[in-house]
Amino acid sequence: MTTETPSQPPVVEFRDVCKTWNPGTRRESKALEHLTFRIEDLPGKGEFAAIIGPSGCGKSTALNLLAAFHGTFPPTSGEILARGLPIQGPGKDRGMVFQKYSSFPQLTVLGNVRFGLELNREGLGLSESQIDALAREWIGRVGLRGHEDKYPRQLSGGQQQRVAIARTLILKPRIVLMDEPFSALDEPTRIEMQRLIVDLWAEVQATVLLVTHSIVEAVYLGDRVWIFTPAPGRIGREFTDVPVPIPGQSPMEMQKAPEFLAIVDEIAESFRRIEQGEAS
């Protein structure tokens, strides 16, 4: 007798989502229109969707809707589902890493990384010493051992993003949202962060939606790349056949390979066409 595994609902689904700012006023503007996609729940693995598109095309709006942030949520029309359930509000199944200021300036590195656990202490059933041990473990994982007692202002931009990543991933969100997380960093630091994300991602197996303005970064980190149309944004083109980074392998080496650069060129050309309103 064969037993069929029930098919899981998608991890994330946008159904014809539209977002209009200031509807019915003279300042009315459409940020998103007919945004439809689904990211399947792959067993033992999360998908990594990288989103690029012209500035102001609604990429952050899409992420903020999925995070259900106050001020953006709900969509004007359409439905957003996480694991088959309509999103009602923020939840710890979704974690966000911003370009900057993801951490509390008044808390130390340890305080910041502990924060989410403390907030969810009862639900997680963790003791004080377990919270402390877990936070220190994550601080080590993101390469910040020895910096536990520092405040964010005492850290470099790259180190601050490491804190932001640790405080998000420690909660084991099924969905990780990253909005230009490395844009404010210099190139070597950015490469280091990409390496860190690849290593951690193999471990946490979350589904990631990453907004970036770097096509190289999108191709490197994403296992699918979406190009959004100019506002109102929707997916103008999807690339699924992109190279997959290998944990432990140097990002620089992979990003210099001719076959990698050929895909970057192809996507850059498609981006240019979409931005200019031509067929992709």
Q: Which residues bind ligand ADP (CB under 6 A)?
A: 21, 29, 31, 53, 55-61, 71, 231
Q: What are residue 260's DSSP bridge partners?
A: none
Q: Which is nearer to ligand ADP, 24 or 123 (CB)?
A: 24
Tell me the CA distances in angstroms from 61 to 2, 66, 98, one per residue in order. Answer: 44, 9, 13
Sign of the torsion formed by the C-alpha atoms of 86, 224, 245 and 112: negative
Least distance from ligand ADP to the Cβ atom of residue 249, Å: 30
Q: Which is nearer to ligand ADP, 13 or 33 (CB)?
A: 33
Least distance from ligand ADP to the Cβ atom of residue 15, Å: 19
Least distance from ligand ADP to the Cβ atom of residue 47, Å: 21
Q: Which is nearer to ligand ADP, 61 or 112 (CB)?
A: 61
Q: Say if CB 155 and CB 147 are below 8 A apart.
A: yes
Q: Say if CB 75 and CB 13 are below 8 A apart.
A: no
Q: Which is nearer to ligand ADP, 131 or 231 (CB)?
A: 231
Contacts of 222 (CB under 8 A, 6+ apart): 48, 49, 50, 210, 242
Least distance from ligand ADP to the Cβ atom of residue 54, Å: 7
